[in-house]
């Protein structure tokens, strides 16, 4: 859960600032040196020194601001902080640069300098087209039409027609970008809510939704944003259905359009980072070890660039996705103990970035960390991390909620806590059934756990072998292998049958596949 100390928006903003941004704010405010501005500097310094937001403590630190004045002072400080940030960040974003120039065009127009205004608008159109900023183009063209219709500025013979044609073309593109971005967002939301398709009914539902909302001419799209959202849509569509080969193909297409137009890496950095994350996920799901290693190296190289560190969002995105991928690599290789060495530094960073991370990201990290401890045989610590998932709102990622409970049950089984296993089995079974998350694999898992309490060691091994064969037959069935995407149950059972550590079983599989590839 996000710490409560970050509930005050002004406190959040102050504590998100870097040293240079704080210094610039004070210089920006002191230029006017108004009495009220000096008060907000005192408020700023007091907030900056607070570890947690506490209004009572804050007021004690303020000499010039009384309690009745605090609300207005906070509003004033918030506005001034944003204004100072806008000054130093205006060159960081193409959108901010375009809006700044459009403001200049409006100012010149209002001064009666129509031709100068039009000259800026013409340049703006070229820059907007180069960066595929169609929404912005609609504003520029609207201003051009307004000036041409209100003032005699040049020959109207061709101008009216060309502006009308431009407006129609841009509106068509904007409409298509909107449709494709809506589809991408809705599919992503479906995944965040439910995870992978649980059964044929789920799959039919997502297929129908995709077909109904996918434009019939989508295969003919040529614009950068249209194709970006198209490939994103196919990624979520394939990922929900666990068609990991399709997922990989479209994740690669997502990255390829950036390499075709490198300028857009700077313009849409966030989506580039997200694309690299999805490409890594696709390699992970396909157990494409070599491709995963190449993509991870590519991502790490990008993370070291100035562009990746230019904004908090980009820096935190790369941190989240690279660390997630690094943990996934340890799962693939079975190097759980090595992975544990990353956790102390990872948790320090998670705390440092807690202001910026949503609950979904925290849930995923807790689940991955729990898996590392489970794979290392540290079942009691795995339980601690799983409790952090089980104790939050189950409406978020109910698939993760289900498998956290199942792994929690397995950890207690490993610890020999048989006095609570029976009640845990009933509880987890009911929860998974309620969430419609039970597959044949889980049903077999619950049967085995129930029957294993009273078996001798000899009979236990025979029962394990039967269980192993039954779930191995399901490995190629997409709706039954949903559980394998969350828990490597087959390797866990194999570790019991062959009496080897789970890490050894997984690492041997990796070595065997590597040998086959050569």
Query: What pLDDT digit, counting tens, does each position of 72-121 carry?
Result: 999 999 999 998 888 887 667 788 889 889 999 999 988 888 889 889 99
Q: Is residue 483 part of a domain?
A: no
Q: Is residue 63 part of a domain?
A: yes
Find the angle CA(31)-CA(37)-CA(39) to the nearest 5 degrees.
140
Q: Is residue 424 part of a domain?
A: no
pLDDT at residue 155 is higher than 60: no
Average confidence (pLDDT) over 154-170: 75
Q: Is residue 283 part of a domain?
A: yes
User: How many other CB atoms are there within 10 angstroms of residue 248's CB atom?
Assistant: 21
Average confidence (pLDDT) over 150-164: 68
Instruction: Please give the C-alpha separations between residue 173 and each of 68, 170, 244, 275, 444, in angstroms, as whole numbers.
Output: 51, 5, 31, 23, 52
Quote the pLDDT of residue 400.
85
Joined together, the tokens standing for residue 368 give: 């991955």
- Same domain (yes/no): 260, 286: yes
- Same domain (yes/no): 49, 105: no
Closest CA to 195 of 396, 488, 334, 61: 396
Q: For the chain, how many structural domains are there in total? A: 3
Q: Do residues 26 and 66 lie in contact, with contact meaning Cβ atoms separated by under 8 Å?
A: no
**Interhelix angle for 9-16 vs 35-49, to 10°?**
80
Containing 211, the helix (H) or strand (E) segment is: helix 200-213
């070890």: which residue's tokens?
289
- Same domain (yes/no): 36, 81: yes
The DSSP secondary structure of 459-517, one letter per residue, reads HHHHHHHHHHHHHHTTTT-TTTGGGGGT--HHHHHHHHHTT--HHHHHHHHHHHHHHHH
* pLDDT tens sequence across 446-462: 888 888 877 777 788 88
Torsion of CA 365, 367, 369, 375, to 10 degrees: -150
- Same domain (yes/no): 20, 33: yes
Could you list the residue range(s) of the whole structural domain that residue 19 is in?
Answer: 4-89
- Same domain (yes/no): 249, 278: yes
Joined together, the tokens standing for residue 455 give: 């078996």
Query: CA-CA distance, 233 to 211, in Å (whole number)?
Result: 11
* pLDDT tens sequence across 324-376: 999 999 999 999 999 999 999 999 999 988 878 888 889 999 999 999 999 99
pLDDT at residue 7 is higher than 90: no
Quote the pLDDT of residue 473.
84
pTM of the model: 0.81
Q: Is residue 196 part of a domain?
A: no
pLDDT at residue 258 is higher than 70: yes
> Which of 32-46, 191-205, 238-252 reaches the highest mean pLDDT?
238-252
Average confidence (pLDDT) over 433-439: 81
Q: Give the residue with greater pLDDT, 72 vs 195.
A: 72
**Interhelix angle for 359-375 vs 502-517, to 10°?**
100
User: How many other CB atoms are there within 10 angstroms of residue 285's CB atom?
Assistant: 18
Closest CA to 294 of 252, 336, 342, 245: 252
Sign (positive or negative) of CA dihedral 415, 418, 420, 421: positive
pLDDT at residue 4 is higher than 50: no
Query: CA-CA distance, 393 to 403, in Å (whole number)?
Result: 15
- Same domain (yes/no): 83, 100: no
* pLDDT tens sequence across 16-62: 898 989 998 988 887 766 666 778 899 999 999 998 898 999 999 98
Closest CA to 234 of 187, 281, 287, 268: 187
Q: Do residues 457 and 424 lie in contact, with contact meaning Cβ atoms separated by under 8 Å?
A: no
Q: Do residues 97 and 91 lie in contact, with contact meaning Cβ atoms separated by under 8 Å?
A: yes
Least confident stretch, 137-141, 157-161, 226-230, 291-295: 157-161
* Domain final residue pick, 262, 282, 316: 316
Average confidence (pLDDT) over 403-415: 93
* Domain final residue pick, 70, 89, 108: 89
Looking at every residue in the chain, the average pLDDT score rounds to 88
Confidence bin at 1 (pLDDT 50/70/90): very low
Confidence bin at 3 (pLDDT 50/70/90): very low
Query: CA-CA distance, 495 to 506, in Å (whole number)?
Result: 9
Joined together, the tokens standing for residue 480 give: 């039954």
Length of the chain: 518
Number of H helices, E strands in the chain: 26, 0
Quote the pLDDT of residue 483.
67
Q: Is residue 378 part of a domain?
A: no
Average confidence (pLDDT) over 60-71: 89
Closest CA to 289 of 243, 250, 330, 251: 330
Q: Is residue 489 part of a domain?
A: no
pLDDT at residue 302 is higher than 60: yes
- Same domain (yes/no): 289, 307: yes
Q: Is residue 113 part of a domain?
A: yes
* Domain final residue pick, 316, 334, 361: 316
Q: Give the residue with greater pLDDT, 8 vs 279.
A: 279
pLDDT at residue 157 is higher than 60: no
Percent of the chain with pLDDT over 90: 50
Average confidence (pLDDT) over 294-298: 97
- Same domain (yes/no): 8, 79: yes
């Amino acid at each position: 859960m996000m710490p409560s100390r970050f509930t005050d928006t002004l406190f959040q903003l102050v504590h998100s600032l870097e040293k240079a941004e704080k210094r610039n704010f004070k210089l920006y405010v002191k230029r006017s040196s108004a009495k009220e501005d000096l008060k907000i500097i005192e408020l700023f310094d007091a907030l900056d020194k607070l570890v947690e937001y506490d209004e009572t403590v804050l007021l004690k630190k303020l000499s010039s601001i009384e309690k009745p004045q605090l609300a207005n002072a906070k509003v004033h400080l918030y506005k001034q902080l944003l204004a100072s940030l806008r000054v130093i960040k205006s060159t960081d974003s193409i959108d901010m640069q375009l809006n700044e120039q459009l403001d200049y065009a409006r100012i010149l127009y209002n001064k009666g300098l129509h031709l100068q205004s039009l000259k800026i608008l013409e340049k703006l159109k070229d820059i907007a087209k180069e960066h595929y900023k169609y929404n912005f183009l609609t504003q520029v063209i609207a201003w051009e039409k307004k000036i041409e219709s209100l003032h005699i500025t040049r020959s109207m013979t061709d101008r009216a027609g060309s502006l009308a044609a431009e407006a129609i073309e841009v509106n068509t593109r904007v409409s298509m970008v909107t449709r494709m971005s809506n589809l991408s967002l809705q599919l992503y939301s479906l995944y965040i809510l439910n995870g992978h398709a649980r059964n044929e009914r789920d799959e039919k539902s997502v297929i129908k939704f995709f077909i109904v909302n996918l434009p019939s001419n989508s295969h003919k799209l040529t614009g950068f944003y249209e194709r970006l959202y198209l490939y994103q849509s196919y990624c979520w569509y394939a990922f929900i259905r666990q068609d990991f080969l399709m997922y990989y193909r479209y994740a690669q297409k997502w990255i390829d359009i950036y390499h075709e137009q490198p300028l857009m890496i700077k313009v849409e950095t966030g989506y580039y980072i997200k694309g690299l994350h999805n490409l890594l996920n696709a390699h992970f799901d396909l157990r494409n070890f070599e491709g995963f290693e190449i993509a991870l190296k590519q991502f790490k190289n990008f993370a070291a660039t100035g562009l990746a560190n230019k904004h908090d969002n980009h820096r935190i995105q790369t941190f989240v996705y690279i660390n997630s991928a690094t943990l996934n690599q340890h799962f693939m290789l079975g190097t759980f103990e090595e992975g544990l060495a990353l956790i102390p530094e990872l948790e320090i960073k998670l705390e440092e970035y807690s202001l910026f991370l949503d609950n979904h990201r925290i849930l995923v990290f807790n689940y991955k960390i729990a898996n590392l401890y489970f794979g290392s045989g540290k079942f009691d610590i795995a339980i601690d991390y799983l409790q952090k998932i089980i104790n939050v709102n189950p409406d978020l990622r109910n698939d993760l909620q289900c498998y956290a409970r199942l792994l929690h049950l397995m950890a207690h089984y490993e610890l020999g806590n048989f006095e609570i296993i029976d009640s845990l089995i009933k509880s987890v079974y009911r929860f998974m059934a309620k969430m419609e998350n039970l597959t044949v694999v889980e049903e077999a898992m619950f049967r085995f756990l129930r029957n294993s309490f009273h078996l001798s060691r000899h009979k236990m091994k025979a029962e394990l072998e039967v269980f192993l064969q039954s779930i191995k037959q399901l490995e190629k069935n997409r709706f039954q292998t949903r559980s394998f995407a969350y828990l490597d149950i087959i390797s866990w059972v194999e570790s019991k049958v062959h009496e080897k550590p789970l890490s050894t079983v997984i690492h041997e599989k990796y070595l065997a596949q590597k040998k086959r590839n050569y």
